[in-house]
Amino acid sequence: MIGVFICFCGNNIGGYIDVQQLTDYFNEEYPADDVVAFNTTFLCSEIGQDLIKEKIEELNLDAVVIASCSPKHHGAIFQACIGEKMNQYRWEFANIREQCAWVTPNKKNATEKAKAIISGAIEKSRLLEDIGSTRVPVTKDILVIGGGITGMHAALELSAKGFHVHLVEKKETVGGNMVRFDRVFPTDDCAMCTSSPILAEVAMDPLIDIYSLSEVTEVKGRPGEYDVTVVKQPRYIDETKCTACGDCTAHCPVEVWSEWDEGMGLRAATYKPMAQAVPLKNRINMDSCIRCGTCENVCKAEAVMYNEEPKEFTMKVGAILVATGYELIDLKNTEYHQEHPNVISGLQLERLKVPSGPTAGEILRPSDGKMPKHLVFVQCAGSRDRRYNVYCSKICCMYATKNARLIKSENPDMKISICYIDMRTAGRGYEEFFDKAREMGINYIRGNVSEIVPDGEDLILKVEDTFTSEPLDLKADLVVLSSGLIPSQGTKDVASTIHLVSGADGFLAPVHVKIAPVDTATKGIFIGGTTEAPKPIQECITDAGLVASRIASFLKDDDIEIDLTTSKINPEICIKCGTCAENCVYDAIDTTGENYEVLDVSCMACGKCSVTCPTNAIDLSLYTEDQVIKQIDGILAEDPDSIIGFSCYQCGYNAADLAGTAKSFIDPKIKVVLVPCSGRVTMQHMLYPFFKGARGVFLAACLEGQCHYIDGNLQAKEKVKLAKKALDVMGVGGHKLNLFNMSSAEGPKFVAAAKRMVEICQ
Amino acid sequence: MPVEGAEKVQNEAAEYKAQSGENEMDQEANKTPKVEGCEFGDVVDCVTCKRCSLVCPTELDLERVVRIHRYIKDSYGQVKGSHRDVFRLASKLSGMADAQGWLTGIDEGDDIVFFPGCAALFDLLLQRDTNYSGNAKAAALTLNKLGYKPEIVYGCCGHDLYYSGALDEFELIKAENMEKLKGKKIVVSCAEGYHMFKNIYGLDVVGFEEFVLEHNPEFVNTDLKTTYHDPCRYGRYNEVYDAPREVLKKASDFREMENIREEAICCSVSAWMNCNKYSRDTRKKRLEEAKATGADYLVTACTKCSIHLDCIHFEKNSEDAEALEDIKILGTAQVVGYALGVYDPFKEEVDYIVPETAGKFLEPLKIQKNVDQYIDDELLDNAFLCTTCKNCTIVCPNHHDTASMMEEFRSELVKKDLGPEKHSKIAKAIMNTGNAFGEKEPMTPHPNEKAEYIYYPGCVANYRRDDVYQATKKILDLLDVDYEIPEGLVCCGSVLRRAGHEDEFQDIREKNTELLRGKKVICSCSGCYATLKKDYEGLDVYHITDIVKENIDKLPLKEVKKKVMYHDPCHLGRKFEYYDIPREIIEAVPGVELIAFEKEKENAQCCGAGGGVKSAKPDIANNLAKKKMDEAKEKGADMVVSACPFCELNLNDNCEEIPVVDILNLLMESLGEVKE
Amino acid sequence: MAIKQDEMDLEFSKKLAKEIGDSFQKCFQCGTCTARCPAGNVSQYRVRKLMRMAQLGLKERIFDSDEIWNCTTCSTCKILCPWGVDTVSTILRLRAEAVDAGHENKKHDPLVKSLQSYDNPWLQPRSARRKWYKKLDNVVDLSKKPGEADVLYYVGCTATFDPRLWNMAQSVVKVLAKAGITVGVLGKEEKCCGGTVRGVGHPDIFEGLAKRNIEDFNNSGVDTIIFSCPGCLNTVMNAYKDIGEIKPRMVHVVEYVAELLEKGKLKLDKDVGRIITYHDPCHLGKHCEVFDPPRDILKAIPGVEFKEMDFIRENSWCCGAGGGVKTAYPDRATELASNRLKEAEDTGADTITSACSFCYQNLLDGIKQSDSKLEMKDIMEIVAEAIEE
C-alpha cells in the first residue's frame, strides 16, 4: 500500500491546484488500487507529520509519497518524520508547489500536471528499498594544506581543541601573502606586527607539525581516514643544524631577483625569506646556486647538504583543510603592459613599502630608482572583464586606497591618481577610510584604463573621464596595477590531486555558498580563506574559525555514520571491464579484489559509474535505472504529451525551483525528473520517454566546468550528442533532445530552456 | 537435431584427457574435467545459439520455447537487455519512426535492395567511438564495384525484438518492412538480417558472401591474415558455412580456428540480452582460439558477433584486453571491400553521416500482450520434452542452466493449466497422499530421534523398489550408521518442480524441510538427492554412496564375477559432477569388470525418464532407455548398475535380458544377501 | 538639459536589447571604449554615452545629435569592451532606427540614391564596371559564361570606379594568373555588396542587394569567391548569413594568396626593395579575424623589410574611412588617416600597405593632405611587383 499525502500549503498550493479533486482522483480513479491519498493544510506542521506517521502505522504502508513543496525545502523534515515509523528512504516526493502550482496559472492545467507528477512519484516509490547506514572509524589527525593566515589560524584553533595538525606549506616559510604586506586596511596596522605572534605560536605549538617546502601529491582513502602522500623538496641545509645565523648569506656571491620581494629586490642563493620565517632556517635555492662551496666553508654548524634529495612520506588524517589561497593575475603582454619596468602590481608595491623590504620603505620606481612624480593606480586590472576575470576581486578598492593614503601622507607632493570603474568600500570603517583618502587630495578618476602605452620610461594611460565624457591621455611615471586575484597554482594543483570541484572562476566551490561556505562536496574535506574566493584578511580569519569548528564536530566521535545511498555492484553479472572505475573520479570502486566493490564511504552517489556499464551490473541506490524509468512511466501514463526534463540536484533542479519562486510561466507539458547529476542520465533514459510518446527530453545540468561531480555534465554532453544522432538515424528527430547548462541561481535560464523545448516540440 | 558435430562436442572430455598425456589407467583415476558451470537458469541468459541441439536426447526445439518464454516474461517487465536495454529500445523506436539513411558515397539505384541494418545505431549508442557500420558501407561499395547500384532500404529487421520476446513490436516492424521489401531481391551483410528475412519473413534474400562468390571478382589486396567466426544465425540456423570461408580464402590469408562450423562457440550474447561474466569468459576463449591461429583479424559475418567479440578490447586496465590486443575484429564485407580496393577499414574516421531529420511524434504503442496466441500444441509438446538431463549445459558456451529455465517455463504453462494431464494427476496424488504413486500408506517411519542421520528413502524406494529400501537400511546398519526415518515425510517434490507444479512444490518443500532440518540427510535416490540438495535450502544432504565410499573397508565384500556397466544418473552426475565415487565403489567389489558406455560421465546419455517425460511421453522415455540398453547388450554386460531407482525403473522396463540394479543391490550381492 | 521622464522610451531600449542580445544591457559605463575610440579622438562622439542614452531609450536625443554618424564601425570598442558589448551592432541598429524615423544623414543621400538607381554608390553607369579590366585579356565574365573560370573575383565598387585603384584590381588578376588560376568576374552584373547602405541605416535596400548577390554567387558556377575589399567580405560573409546561403567558399585575396604561397603554387622571385609596414583594415582584422596571411605574404616577398607599427592586429587604429564617415565627414577621415600615417612613418618604412580598397583610398588622401613621404601600395600590388614578367 502506498500513501500519498497532498499538502494545501495554505493557499500556496491550494490556491492554484484543486487539491481535493487531486486527492479524490488518487483515491478513486487512479488505475492502481493500492494507493490511498490524504490531504492537509500544512503537511510540514506537527499535525501534518502526525497524520503521516499515523497512516504509516495504521495502513502498514510500504512507501509514502509527499506531494508538497520542493524537497530542498522540507525534505529533511519529512525524511525524519517518516524515519520514525519506517526506513527513512521509503518515501518519494512530488514537487507540486515550485514546479507546478507556481508556474502554471490555469488551475485545471495545474491540477492535471500535479496528477502526472504525483503518478510519477507513486510509480517510482514502488521500487524503493530500505537503505541502511554504516559506521566507520576516524583518524583524529588533521591535515591543513597551506600555511597562510587562514591555514595558520585554523591550525591554532584546532590545536586549541586538542587535535593534532599537520601543516603543509609549499614555500620555505609559513605566513602566506599577508606577512609580505606593509600595512592592512582599514586600521593601517603593520601586517607583520599583527601576524608575527601567530607565526611564533604556530612554530611553538606542540600539536602542530609544520612541513615547509612540501606539497601534497596524493590523497587516497575515505572521509575520516585519508592516506596522504607528501613530498618535501630539499632545503640543502640541515634543518636540525642550521641556526639561521646568516653567515652563508653574507658570503654567498650570487645575487638574483628575489621571489619573496616579487622581483623588487635581490637575494643570495642561500637566504631566509624574512627574519620571522617559520621554520627559521636558511635555504639554498638550487636554481641560482653556483655550487662554489663558500657557504659550506663558512657554515660553522656544518648544515649545508648539497646532495639532499626530495623526501616522500605519508600520513593518515581524518579531515583535510585546503587553504592554498590566491595569487595575482599576470598581465604581461596585455594592454596593461606589465612587462614594462614601471608597471608594477599591488603586491610589488607592498614590497617597496615594507620598511624591511628592498627599498627600506621608499617608493622608488624600478627603471631608475627615482621617486615618481605621478603615481597612478589602475583598478580592475584583469577583474570585471570577460577576457580575464569576470568577477570583482573584492579587496583592490581598499588596498589601493590604503597604499595611496600611506604614500600620500609620507610624500604630500606626489601626485596620486586612482582610475576606477566603481569604488566598492562595503565594510565597517571602509567608507570612512575612502572618504579620508579624497580629503587627502588623492585624485579619483572614474574611468577604466583602456590601454597603457609605454612612452620611454614613462607611461601614457588611455582612459575616459566618464564624468566629463572626455578621453584622457594620463601621463604617469609609475603605474600600480590593482591586479585581479586568481586561485594560486597550489589551489589548482590540490583541486586535481583531491578531485575538488572548482567554480568557473577556478576558486574551489563550497557545497553551498550560503549555508555551507567551508564544506566541499566531499565529506571530510573543507576549504577556507581565499581558496574559496577573493576576500579580505578578516574574512579569512572568520573562515578559519568556522572551518576549525566544522572539522572538530566532524571528528568529535571515534567513528562517523554514513548512509549507504551509494552505488551497488552485482558481482554475478559484473564482467570487471573497468568502465565504472574509470568513470569514477572518487576512486570509490575497488577493483583489486575477487569482485569489484563500491567503497561506500568514498562513493559520492553521483551515479556516473552506472551509465556505461555494459552488463547493468552497477546501479545507484535511490535513483536506480528502473526507478527513473518507472517515474517516467508514471508521468507519461497521465500525460503522454509531456516533455521530460532531467534536472541535476545541484543546479538544474534548483533553477527550476527558482523559476517557481519567481512565479514564472512554465508550460505544463514540462515535467521535471530529479537526478543526482546529469552524468547519471543513461542513454535509455534519454530515449525511453519517446517510446512512451513524450514530445521531448532535455537535461538541465550545471554550467560547464562547474559540475559538482567534476565532469558529469561533460559526459552528459557527449552522450546527448550521440543520442541526438541516434534519434536522427531512427527517424525520431535528434532536435527533440537537448542539454541546457545553468547554475543553481539561474531560474530564468530554466524558463528559457523550457520555452525552447516547447517551441521545438510543437 | 543432433548433427555430425555432436560427436566432437561429446568427446571434449576425452580430448582433454588425451592432451594431458597420461595413460589410460591414470585417466580413470584422473578427475574428470570440471565444467565451469554457471547456475544461471534465467531465460534471458540463453544465447539461442542452438549449440545444445547437438546433444539434446529428445531433440526439442529450445529456441522456440525460449522466445515464447521471453514473451511471457516481457509481459511482467522482467526482460531487460544489457546496456540498460537501450538497444531493444532503439529497435522499437526505429520501427515506430522512419529510420533514416546514414550511408554516404554509395552509387544508388534500383538494381537490387541492400539492407544495411542497424550498425550505425550501435556505433552511436555504445559510446565507444567504433566503426561497426563500416561493414555495411564496405558491402555497399562492393556492390557498386560488382556493377550494381543498390536501392538502400534502412530500418531494423527486428531480429533482437523477435529473439528477446518483444514479439508484438516485432510484428509491427515486420509488417512495415514487408511493405518495403516484398518481391525484391535483397542483399544483407549481416547474418541476423539474413536469417530473419529468409526464415521469418520468407523473402528472397542472399547473403553478402554468397553474392560476392557468384560474381567471383578479382581481389587485389589479399594480405590480411584472417580467421573466421561462424555466427549462429549463419551456421547452425542456416548451415551457411562455406560461402564466407570461400570468400575469405580468396580475399585474404585465411586459417581456421579450433571450434568451427557446427561446433562453433557463440559470441555469447544474443539479441542484446543478458551479458555476464560467463559470457565474457566465453568471448575471451573465442578470441584466444582466434589468436592461436596466428591470424591478425577475427572475421565474422555478423555485426553483433563483431561487437560482442570486440568488447574485451574496451576493458580498462585489463590483462586480457592487453593480451588479446593484437587480434582485431573485422566484418567479412570489410575484408572483401579492402581486398577489392574499394574500402579502407583502417582509416581513423567513422564514415557515415547522420542527417538531421524532422522526425515525427510518436504515439505510444498500444500493445496488448496476448500470450495465448503463441501457445500451440507444438510449443507444449516441446515444453514437456525436456528430461532435465542437462547435457545441453555441458555444450552451452555459457554453461547455462537450461533445465531450470525449462522448469520455470513449465510453471508458466502449468499456471495456465496447460501442463500434461499425467503431471497434474501425479501432482494431485502427491498433494493428497504424499507420494507420487497415490499409495494410501504414508512413508514407512523408522523412529530414532537421537540419531545423527536421517534416511530419506523417497517414493520409488519406499513404494516400488523395496529391494533398494532394504539394501540401504542393511548397509547403513552394517556401517554402524545410526539413522531415523521421521514420521510424516512426503515425496521430495522433484517431479513437481521439474514438471512446473511450482506452488505444490513449495508446499511440499516446507513440510519436508521442517522434518529434515538439523540432521544429516542420506538419500539413495539421485532425484531426491538433487532436489533436497539444490532445490531445498539449508539441508545437509548426502548420497548413500558418499557414506559407503568413506567406510567401504568395513564391508566384507565377496567376489561377484560379472561384467558391469555403470549408468550415470543425470541428477547425480552432471548436476553435481558426481562421477567417480560410484565407479570406485563398483570397482571395489572383487571380480567385477567395469565396462564403460560409449558416452559417459558428463556426456552420458539420459535414461529418458526425468523431467516428467516418463509419465507424460512414455514412448520417448522408453526409446531412450532402449537405446541405452541396446548398447549394454552389444557390449556384453551382465548387469547395468545405477544409483537412481528412477533410472533403474525406466531402464528395466525396456530390457528383459539384462538386469538393471541399484549400486546397493550390487553391494548386497557381493555381501551375499541377495534375495530373489 | 534635464532629461524628462517621458523622453525615456524604455520600450525602445527593450527593443534594442532584443535585437542586439544580452550584451546590450551589460554596459556598465566604464569608458574603456571611449578612451580608445578613433572617431572620439577627432570629434565629440562618445560611444559610452551613446550606449547609456540607448539604454535609457533617449531616442530623440540620439537622432537629433550627429553622434551616431561619426562611428567608422572599426570595432575597437567592441573588442576592448570588458563585457563584450556589441557596440557596433547597436550603432548600426540606431542608424537604421534614425533613418526609419526620418532622421537620415543628408550627406549620405547621393550615395543611397545612386545605389537605388545604379547598384553602386558612385553615381556611375553599370557598364563602367568593365573599365578596369578592359586591357586584360584573361578575365572571364561569369555572368555570361558561368563556371568557366577557377574563381570569382568580386572586385567591389571602390576598386571598380576609382581609377587610382585599378592597378590594385589588375594586380590581383596578374598574381592569380601567375599561379595558373583563371579569374572570373561578374562584369556589368556585379552589384554593390550593400555594406555601405547597411552601415548608414538602410537595411531594406541592403537586403534587396544581398538577395540578388546571393543568387549571382550561387549561379556563377565556381566554388571560390575572392574579395579584395574586406568591407565586401565582412558584409557577404557575416551579414548575409540571415538572408540566404552562399554555396561557394569566400576568402580574402590575402588568404588565398597566402595559401598559394604555402603550397608552392606561386613563386615570388623579384626583389622589390622596400621597407614596408602593414595597416590592418578593421573589416579584415577585427571583423573577420584575418591577421596573419598578409604578414606571411609580406615576409615571403624578396627584398621586403617588414616593420610593425605599435598598434596592430586587434589593437590597430582605424584609417578613418569606414561606416560612411568618409562620405559624411571627409575631413575627420583624413585626420585619422594622418594619425595613422604618422605612426607608420615612425617605423621608418617607406611604403605603407594594406589589403582594403577603402583604406587605400583614405590613406592615399591622408598622404596627400599631410605631405607624407610614404608610398601607398596595396599588398597585391607589391606581390605583383615581385613577379618576374
Considering the domain architecture, whether residues A123 and A31 belong to the same structural domain is answered as: yes
Considering only alpha carbons, which residue of chain A is nearest residue B315? A577
Contact A451 C315 (CB under 8 A): yes
Considering only alpha carbons, which residue of chain C is nearest residue A474? C35
Given CB atoms, is A366 within the 8 Å cutoff of chain B?
Answer: no
Opening angle at CA B486, ends B484 and B489, nearest 5:
135
pLDDT category of residue B45 using cuts at 50, 70 and 90: confident
Considering the domain architecture, whether residues A249 and A293 belong to the same structural domain is answered as: yes
pLDDT category of residue A563 using cuts at 50, 70 and 90: confident
Q: Residue A51 is part of which domain span?
A: 1-131
CA-to-CA distance for A717 and A738, rounded, in angstroms? 9
Chain CA centroid to CA B1, Å: 14
CA-to-CA distance for C270 and A520, rounded, in angstroms? 67
The yes-or-no verdict on residue B1 having pLDDT over 80 is: no
pLDDT category of residue B29 using cuts at 50, 70 and 90: very low
Collapsed DSSP state (helix, strand, coil) of residue C199: helix
Question: Strand ranges (DSSP E) for A262-397?
Answer: 266-267, 270-271, 283-284, 311-317, 319-322, 326-328, 343-345, 374-381
- Per-window interface: A 624-653 vs B, CB < 8 A: 625, 636, 640
Considering the domain architecture, whether residues B453 and B519 belong to the same structural domain is answered as: yes
Greatest mean pLDDT among A115-124, B165-174, B260-269 lies in A115-124
* CA neighbor of B647 nearest in space, from B673, B630, B624, B676: B624
Q: Which three cell numbers stand for residue C347?
A: 617605423
Count of alpha carbons within 13 angstroms of residue B435, beta-carbon side: 19
pLDDT, residue B6, reads: 47
pLDDT, residue B40, reads: 56
Considering the domain architecture, whether residues A110 and A53 belong to the same structural domain is answered as: yes
Chain CA centroid to CA C171, Å: 19
pLDDT category of residue B362 using cuts at 50, 70 and 90: confident
Considering the domain architecture, whether residues B616 and B574 belong to the same structural domain is answered as: yes
Q: What is the pLDDT of residues C304-358, one digit of tens each?
A: 999 999 888 888 889 988 888 888 888 889 999 999 999 999 999 999 999 999 9
- For residue C88, the domain's CATH number is 1.10.1060.10
Q: What is the pLDDT of residues B552-603, one digit of tens each?
A: 888 888 888 889 999 999 888 888 888 888 899 888 888 889 989 988 888 8
Considering the domain architecture, whether residues B389 and B480 belong to the same structural domain is answered as: no
pLDDT, residue A384, reads: 95
B364–chain A nearest CA distance, Å: 5
Mean pLDDT for chain B overall? 86
From C201, C223, C258, give the residue that closes a domain: C258
Considering the domain architecture, whether residues C116 and C200 belong to the same structural domain is answered as: yes
Q: What is the pLDDT of residues B220-230, one digit of tens each?
A: 999 999 999 99
The total of structural domains in chain C comes to 3
pLDDT, residue A348, reads: 96
Q: What is the pLDDT of residues A675-700, one digit of tens each?
A: 999 999 999 999 999 999 999 999 99
Interface test with B, best of A612, A690, A730 (most B CBs within 10 A): A730
Contact A450 C310 (CB under 8 A): no
- Specify if A631 maps to a domain: no
Considering the domain architecture, whether residues C221 and C181 belong to the same structural domain is answered as: yes
Average pLDDT for residues A506-516, to the nearest whole number? 84
pLDDT, residue A164, reads: 97
Q: Where are the alpha helices (DSSP H) in B312-420?
A: 319-323, 332-340, 377-383, 391-395, 402-415
pLDDT, residue B2, reads: 41
pLDDT, residue A48, reads: 95
The yes-or-no verdict on residue A18 having pLDDT over 70 is: yes
Considering the domain architecture, whether residues A353 and A453 belong to the same structural domain is answered as: yes
Given CB atoms, is A455 within the 8 Å cutoff of chain C?
Answer: no
pLDDT category of residue B673 using cuts at 50, 70 and 90: low
Q: What is the pLDDT of residues A289-336, one digit of tens each?
A: 999 999 999 999 999 999 999 999 999 999 999 999 999 999 999 999
Contact A718 B127 (CB under 8 A): yes
Residues 6+ apart with CB under 8 A from C45: C37, C39, C67, C70, C71
- Specify if B353 maps to a domain: no
Considering the domain architecture, whether residues C249 and C365 belong to the same structural domain is answered as: no
Contact A730 B82 (CB under 8 A): no
Considering the domain architecture, whether residues B402 and B444 belong to the same structural domain is answered as: no
Contact A386 C48 (CB under 8 A): no
Percentage of the residues of chain B whose pLDDT score is greater than 70: 93
- Specify if B382 maps to a domain: yes
CA-to-CA distance for A509 and A495, rounded, in angstroms? 10
- Specify if B422 maps to a domain: no
Q: What is the pLDDT of residues A351-373, one digit of tens each?
A: 999 999 999 999 999 999 999 99
Mean pLDDT for chain A overall? 94
User: Which residue among B90, B96, B364 places its CB closest to the CB of A726?
Assistant: B90
Considering the domain architecture, whether residues B270 and B170 belong to the same structural domain is answered as: yes
Considering the domain architecture, whether residues A172 and A229 belong to the same structural domain is answered as: yes
The total of structural domains in chain B comes to 4
- Specify if B144 maps to a domain: yes
- Which residues from chain C sit within 8 angstroms of residue A335, using beta carbons? 80, 315
Contact B124 A687 (CB under 8 A): no
Given CB atoms, is A595 within the 8 Å cutoff of chain B?
Answer: no
Q: Which residue has the cell 493500492?
A: A34
From A99, A131, A163, give the residue that closes a domain: A131
Q: What is the pLDDT of residues A609-633, one digit of tens each?
A: 999 899 999 999 999 999 999 999 9
A623–chain B nearest CA distance, Å: 14
The yes-or-no verdict on residue B26 having pLDDT over 70 is: no
Q: What is the pLDDT of residues B217-259, one digit of tens each?
A: 999 999 999 999 999 999 999 999 999 999 999 999 999 999 9
Q: Residue C186 is part of which domain span?
A: 107-258
The yes-or-no verdict on residue B611 having pLDDT over 50 is: yes
Considering the domain architecture, whether residues B301 and B268 belong to the same structural domain is answered as: yes
Considering the domain architecture, whether residues B242 and B98 belong to the same structural domain is answered as: yes
* CA neighbor of A564 nearest in space, from A90, A134, A78: A134
Q: Residue B387 is part of which domain span?
A: 6-48+376-414
Considering the domain architecture, whether residues C307 and C332 belong to the same structural domain is answered as: yes
Considering only alpha carbons, which residue of chain A is nearest residue B282? A575
The yes-or-no verdict on residue B8 having pLDDT over 60 is: no
**How many A-B residue pairs are in contact by the CB < 8 A criterion?**
152
Average pLDDT for residues A17-40, to the nearest whole number? 95
Q: What is the pLDDT of residues B407-447, one digit of tens each?
A: 889 988 888 888 888 899 989 988 988 888 888 888 888 88
Given CB atoms, is C312 within the 8 Å cutoff of chain A?
Answer: no
Considering the domain architecture, whether residues C188 and C111 belong to the same structural domain is answered as: yes
pLDDT, residue B21, reads: 37
- Specify if B588 maps to a domain: yes
- Packed helices A537-554 and A149-160: angle between N→C axes, nearest 10 degrees: 40
A207–chain B nearest CA distance, Å: 42
Considering the domain architecture, whether residues C320 and C194 belong to the same structural domain is answered as: no
pLDDT, residue B397, reads: 86
- Which residues from chain B sit within 8 angstroms of residue A730, using beta carbons? 90, 93-94, 97, 99-100, 121
Contact A448 C35 (CB under 8 A): yes
Considering the domain architecture, whether residues A570 and A554 belong to the same structural domain is answered as: no
Contact A335 C31 (CB under 8 A): no
Considering the domain architecture, whether residues A549 and A602 belong to the same structural domain is answered as: no
- For residue A373, the domain's CATH number is 3.50.50.60
Residues of chain C whose pLDDT is less than 50? none
Q: What is the pLDDT of residues B289-338, one digit of tens each?
A: 999 999 999 999 999 999 999 999 999 888 899 999 999 999 999 999 99
- Specify if A356 maps to a domain: yes
From A440, A458, A484, give the residue that closes a domain: A484
- Specify if B29 maps to a domain: yes
Interface test with B, best of A626, A695, A729 (most B CBs within 10 A): A729
pLDDT, residue C389, reads: 67
Considering the domain architecture, whether residues A344 and A460 belong to the same structural domain is answered as: yes
- β-sheet bridge partners, residue B563: B593
Given CB atoms, is C83 within the 8 Å cutoff of chain A?
Answer: yes
- Specify if A629 maps to a domain: no
Considering the domain architecture, whether residues A268 and A279 belong to the same structural domain is answered as: yes
From C103, C132, C153, give the residue that closes a domain: C103
From B340, B366, B398, give the residue that closes a domain: B340
Q: What is the pLDDT of residues A438-495, one digit of tens each?
A: 999 999 999 999 999 999 999 999 999 999 999 999 999 999 999 999 999 999 999 8
- For residue C303, the domain's CATH number is 3.40.50.1860
Considering the domain architecture, whether residues B26 and B123 belong to the same structural domain is answered as: no
Average pLDDT for residues A51-69, to the nearest whole number? 96
Considering the domain architecture, whether residues A361 and A434 belong to the same structural domain is answered as: yes
Considering the domain architecture, whether residues B163 and B252 belong to the same structural domain is answered as: yes
Considering only alpha carbons, which residue of chain B is nearest residue A761? B361
Query: ipTM of the predicted structure?
Result: 0.67
Given CB atoms, is A721 within the 8 Å cutoff of chain B?
Answer: no
- For residue C167, the domain's CATH number is 3.40.50
Considering the domain architecture, whether residues C95 and C155 belong to the same structural domain is answered as: no
Considering the domain architecture, whether residues B319 and B406 belong to the same structural domain is answered as: no
Collapsed DSSP state (helix, strand, coil) of residue A7: strand
Q: Which three cell numbers stand for residue B409?
A: 517455463
- Which residues from chain A sit within 8 angstroms of residue B314, using beta carbons? 577, 579
Considering the domain architecture, whether residues C111 and C156 belong to the same structural domain is answered as: yes
What b/e string do you get for C153-172 counting C-beta neighbours within 10 Å, with b at 16 or more? bbbbbbbbbbeebbbbbbbb
pLDDT, residue B74, reads: 84
User: Which residue among A335, A422, A464 places its CB closest to the CB of C34?
Assistant: A464
Considering the domain architecture, whether residues C126 and C247 belong to the same structural domain is answered as: yes
pLDDT, residue A191, reads: 94
Asked if the bond preceding A517 is cis, omega within 30° of 0, the reply is no
From B315, B340, B365, give the residue that closes a domain: B340
The total of structural domains in chain A comes to 6
Considering the domain architecture, whether residues C139 and C271 belong to the same structural domain is answered as: no
pLDDT, residue B372, reads: 86
- Specify if B645 maps to a domain: yes
From C52, C81, C103, give the residue that closes a domain: C103
Considering the domain architecture, whether residues A644 and A756 belong to the same structural domain is answered as: yes
- Which residues from chain A sit within 8 angstroms of residue C38, using beta carbons? none
- Packed helices B645-653 and B618-634: angle between N→C axes, nearest 10 degrees: 80
Considering the domain architecture, whether residues C135 and C213 belong to the same structural domain is answered as: yes
Contact C48 A466 (CB under 8 A): yes
- Which residues from chain C sit within 8 angstroms of residue A444, using beta carbons? none
Considering the domain architecture, whether residues C167 and C147 belong to the same structural domain is answered as: yes
From A131, A155, A181, give the residue that closes a domain: A131
pLDDT, residue B515, reads: 87
- Specify if A450 maps to a domain: yes
- For residue A586, the domain's CATH number is 3.30.70.20
Considering the domain architecture, whether residues A342 and A366 belong to the same structural domain is answered as: yes
Considering only alpha carbons, which residue of chain B is nearest residue A628? B84
CA-to-CA distance for A72 and B90, rounded, in angstroms? 35
- β-sheet bridge partners, residue A190: A183
Percentage of the residues of chain A whose pLDDT score is greater than 90: 88
Q: What is the pLDDT of residues B117-155, one digit of tens each?
A: 988 999 999 998 889 999 999 999 999 999 999 999 998
- Specify if B537 maps to a domain: yes
Chain C neighbors (3+ CB pairs < 8 Å): A
Collapsed DSSP state (helix, strand, coil) of residue B70: helix
Considering the domain architecture, whether residues B93 and B199 belong to the same structural domain is answered as: yes
CA-to-CA distance for A89 and A129, rounded, in angstroms? 7
Considering the domain architecture, whether residues B400 and B277 belong to the same structural domain is answered as: no
